[in-house]
Amino acid sequence: MALQSLDIKQRSATTTPSPQARQTVEIAKLIDVSACIGCKACQVACMEWNDVRDEVGSCAGVYDNPMDLTENSWTVMRYSEVEQNGKLEWLIRKDGCMHCTDPGCLKACPAPGAIIQYSNGIVDFHQENCIGCGYCVTGCPFNVPRISKKDNKAYKCTLCSDRVAVNQAPACAKACPTGAIQFGSKEDMKDYAATRVADLKERGYDKAGLYDPQGVGGTHVMYVLHHADKPALYSNLPENPGVSPMVSLWKGAAKPIAAAALGLVALSSLFHYVMKGPNEVSKEIEKEVEKEDAQ
C-alpha cells in the first residue's frame, strides 16, 4: 500500500540511484508562528498517532514540557519571551524535524536504508536498519534526532509518512485548533504563507517572512515568522542552516578516496601473498626460541 504512493528519492549509505522517473506532489507543512497559541494539541496528537508516550516529567517553571525533544516527543513547543520594539513578545515555535531537501542526517548516516527521503519530500527514519551510531544527530543542522536509551535507535518526526501515504494530513496539522499548522503541496503552502506574511506586514511586522532556508535546499516544514530577519529569537532557530562541512567532506570527497585506499590495501596484500607467500618460521628457529623460553 505504502510503496504505491511513496517513491524513494534517496537512501542513506546507498550509491545505487533510486528510480527518478515518476514525479509526485511535493508536500509541505507550514507552521504559522503568529497564529500559534501554544496549546500543545499537536504534541498530544503526535504521540497519539505514533503510539509513543513520553514519561510524565516535572515542571521547570516554564511552559515548555517536555523541555526538549526526546525519542518519544517528536515535536515540542518552545516558548521564548523577547523584547521587540519596546514590547514583550511571547514567541512560540513548534520544534521538530524540518524535512530538509538536502538532509544532513541522511548524508551522515552509514547504515544502508536507515534514512530514506521520499520524492514527496519526507525524510523518514527506518529503525529496523538503524545501527544507533548517532551520526544523524551530528549531521542534523536543527539538532532534531534523538537516540532511544531503550533500543539505541534514532527517532524523530516522520511527518506522519503513513498518513501522507494515504493522502491524510499529519496528525499535528489535523489537530491544530487555530489553523497555525497547515498542510498541503509545497506550492500551495508558499502561496498561503505569502498571504499570511502580507497580513502581518499590514499589522506592523515589517520584517515578517517565510522561513524556508536555502542552505539545506529548502525544507518541507516551513515557518511564517513575524521577525524573519531574526530567526534566533524563536528559541535559536538557525539563521542560515546547512549541512556541516565535516559531514560534506567526509561523505563527499573523503569517501571515494578512503574506498580506493582500502581497495588498494586489499589488492596489494593479495599480491604480496601470491608473490612472497605466507611468512613461515623455520623449525630450527622455532626450537631455539622454545629453548630460550624454557630457560
Partner 1 sequence: MKVTRRQFFKVCSAGLGGSSIAMMGFSPTAALAEVRTFKLARATETRNICPYCSVSCGVLIYTTGDRSKNTPGEIIHIEGDPDNPVNRGTLCPKGAGLRDMVQSKDRLKWPEVREAGSNEWKRISWNEAIERIAKHMKADRDKNFVAQNKDGVTVNRWPTLGALASSAASNEAGYLTVKFLRALGVTQLDTQARI
- Given the rule CB under 8 A, which residues bind partner 1? 1-3, 6, 8, 11, 14-16, 39-41, 43-45, 47-49, 51, 53, 112-113, 116, 124, 126, 128-129, 158, 161-163, 165-166, 168, 171, 174-177, 179, 259, 262-263, 265-266, 269
Nearer to partner 1, 28 or 160 (CB): 160
Query: C-beta of 237: minimal distance to partner 1 in Å?
Result: 23
Nearer to partner 1, 217 or 256 (CB): 256
Nearer to partner 1, 71 or 124 (CB): 124
DSSP letter for each residue of 158-209: -TTHHHHTTT---HHHHH-TTS-EEEEEHHHHHHHHHHHHHHHHHTT-TT-E
Alpha carbons 157 and 97: distance in angstroms, whole number: 6
The CA angle 40-237-167, to the nearest 5 degrees, is: 55
Nearer to partner 1, 162 or 199 (CB): 162
The CA angle 175-178-179, to the nearest 5 degrees, is: 70
Query: C-beta of 48: minimal distance to partner 1 in Å?
Result: 6
Nearer to partner 1, 183 or 211 (CB): 183
DSSP letter for each residue of 15-43: -SPPP-------EEEEEEGGG-----HHH
Quote the DSSP letter at residue 280.
Answer: P
Residue 13 identity (one-letter amino acid): A
Query: C-beta of 175: minimal distance to partner 1 in Å?
Result: 5
Query: C-beta of 85: minimal distance to partner 1 in Å?
Result: 31
Query: C-beta of 53: minimal distance to partner 1 in Å?
Result: 8
Nearer to partner 1, 15 or 85 (CB): 15
User: Are 107 and 113 a contacting pair, CB within 8 Å?
Assistant: no
With cell 622454545, the residue in question is 290
Q: How many CA atoms within 13 Å lie on the side-chain side of 241?
A: 25
Query: C-beta of 165: minimal distance to partner 1 in Å?
Result: 5
